[in-house]
């Protein structure tokens, strides 16, 4: 395992071109944790949340993932407070399609008029004229997918959205989505300990679609005393979280991990994972450990 010192560790993760024309550093930041309990309301320490966002950019992160449902809207407004006016290379990806009746409560709503309203609100809350990547947060089973993505494609034609993505889909749903609009990203649950979306990742890689794994650091049982990540961590001087992220970056060139945290120190640790380069044997041993 080799490391390379740099003041911009996220740059070491390499780049990916969303839609073939929007370049981001592969190790990004997921802002969901910058809210209150249950992903509801203001964060416990709003000033620290601002510091986290600003520090992420200082570390070379230029891909930040959020959603209108985080807060709701608290997350988007916090990003604007911390980072507006935005750097030219900063890509803010947001999502719509889930309503929030209360803490920990998530309900799909893919009605076209609702999605249009949410896009307009996100533009306002983020202080943007165009959202670089807008993701359908969940497919609403009560609304035809053609209606959901059709409305987003119309907003794209109107210049309010640049690229479109989907979240938590099967391969079949992703293929169907691509018949309705150009899809440049998919965001599914995926990590070293949970690879249930392996088929979606393989399809995304074959089609050069960005794969954004949410909940990327699920070390859990793997990091227990004597576990594979615990042993590797002691041997190589990298934390279990860093090894889990390094594994994701190595797993596929279309992988864009977005680890989230509400603390600057943890952010710095996560971002330094881009400096960790696994050997073939190390990658294989971690892969086989689950």
Query: Does the model's pTM come out above 0.85?
Result: yes
Start-to-end CA distance of the chain, whole Å, equals 20
What's the whole-number mean pLDDT along residues 128-154? 98
Catalytic residues: 70
258, part of any domain: yes
What's the whole-number mean pLDDT along residues 28-33? 97
CA distance 117 to 204: 29
Q: So what's the pLDDT on residue 91?
A: 98
Domain with residue 150: its CATH number is: 3.20.20.100
pLDDT digits (tens, 9 = 90+) for 184-229: 999 999 999 899 999 999 999 999 999 999 999 887 777 778 777 8
167, part of any domain: yes
Number of domains in the chain: 1
37, part of any domain: yes
Could you tell me where the DSSP H helices lie in the chain?
46-58, 74-83, 112-126, 145-157, 171-180, 198-206, 228-236, 240-251, 264-271, 280-288
CA distance 248 to 193: 11
**Res. 106: pLDDT tops 90:** yes
Return the higher-pLDDT residue of 169 and 289. 169
CA distance 230 to 224: 6
241, part of any domain: no
List the one residue out of 276, 265, 286, 281 whose CA is nearest residue 56: 265
CA distance 76 to 56: 16
100, part of any domain: yes
What's the whole-number mean pLDDT along residues 109-117? 98
In the chain, % of residues over pLDDT 90: 87
141, part of any domain: yes
5, part of any domain: no
247, part of any domain: no
What's the whole-number mean pLDDT along residues 25-44? 97
CA distance 198 to 145: 23
Range(s) of the domain holding residue 74: 15-223+253-262
């Amino acid at each position: 395992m080799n490391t390379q010192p740099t003041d911009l560790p996220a740059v070491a993760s390499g780049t990916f071109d969303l839609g073939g024309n929007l370049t981001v550093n592969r190790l990004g930041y997921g802002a969901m944790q910058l809210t209150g309990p249950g992903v509801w309301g203001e964060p416990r320490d709003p000033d620290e949340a601002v510091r986290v966002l600003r520090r992420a950019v200082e570390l070379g992160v230029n891909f930040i993932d959020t959603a209108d449902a985080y807060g709701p809207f608290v997350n988007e407004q916090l990003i604007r407070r911390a980072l507006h006016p935005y750097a030219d290379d900063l890509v803010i990806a947001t999502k719509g399609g889930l309503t929030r009746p209360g803490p920990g409560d998530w309900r799909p709503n893919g009605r076209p008029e609702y999605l249009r309203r949410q896009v307009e609100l996100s533009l306002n809350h983020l202080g943007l004229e165009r959202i670089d990547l807008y993701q359908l947060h969940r497919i609403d089973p009560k609304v035809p997918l053609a209606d959901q993505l059709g409305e987003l494609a119309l907003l794209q034609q109107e210049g309010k959205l640049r690229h479109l993505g989907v979240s938590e889909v099967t391969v079949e749903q992703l293929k169907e989505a691509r018949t309705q609009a150009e899809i440049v990203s998919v965001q599914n649950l995926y990590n070293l300990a949970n690879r249930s979306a392996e088929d979606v990742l393989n399809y995304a890689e074959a089609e050069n679609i960005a794969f954004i794994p949410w909940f990327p650091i699920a070390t859990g049982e793997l990091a227990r005393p004597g576990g594979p990540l615990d042993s590797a961590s002691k041997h190589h001087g990298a934390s279990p979280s860093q090894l889990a992220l390094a594994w994701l970056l190595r797993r596929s060139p279309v992988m864009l991990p977005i680890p989230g945290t509400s603390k600057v120190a943890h952010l710095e640790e996560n971002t330094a994972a881009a400096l960790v380069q696994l050997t073939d044997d190390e990658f294989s041993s971690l892969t086989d450990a689950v």
